[in-house]
Copies of this chain bind each other. A is one copy, B any other.
Amino acid sequence: MNCKLFEGINETELPRLLKKLSATEIVCDKNTIVLHSGEKVKNIYVCIEGSFVLENINSDGSVNIISTLSKGSHFGGAFAFTDAISPADLRALSKGKLIAISKDRLLLLDDGDTEKNKIFANLISILANKSTFLITKIQHLSQRSIRGKITSYLNEISKQSGKREFLIPLDRQGLADYLCVDRSALSKELSKMRDDGLIDYRKNMFVIKY
Contact = CB atoms under 8 A, between A and B. Distances in A.
Q: Copies of this chain, how many?
A: 2
A149 to B, nearest CB: 10
Contacts of A201: none
Contacts of A116: 117
Interface string A46-81: 000000000000000000000000000000011111
Given A120-B121, A141-B141, A180-B142, A82 B134 contact: no
Interface of A: 77-82, 84, 87, 107, 111-114, 116-117, 120-121, 123-125, 127-132, 134-135, 137-139, 141-144, 180-182
27 contacts: A78-B132, A79-B132, A80-B128, A81-B124, A81-B125, A82-B125, A82-B132, A84-B132, A107-B121, A111-B114, A111-B117, A117-B117, A120-B120, A124-B127, A127-B127, A127-B128, A127-B131, A130-B131, A134-B134, A134-B135, A138-B141, A141-B141, A141-B180, A143-B180, A144-B180, A144-B181, A144-B182
A113 B116 CA distance: 12
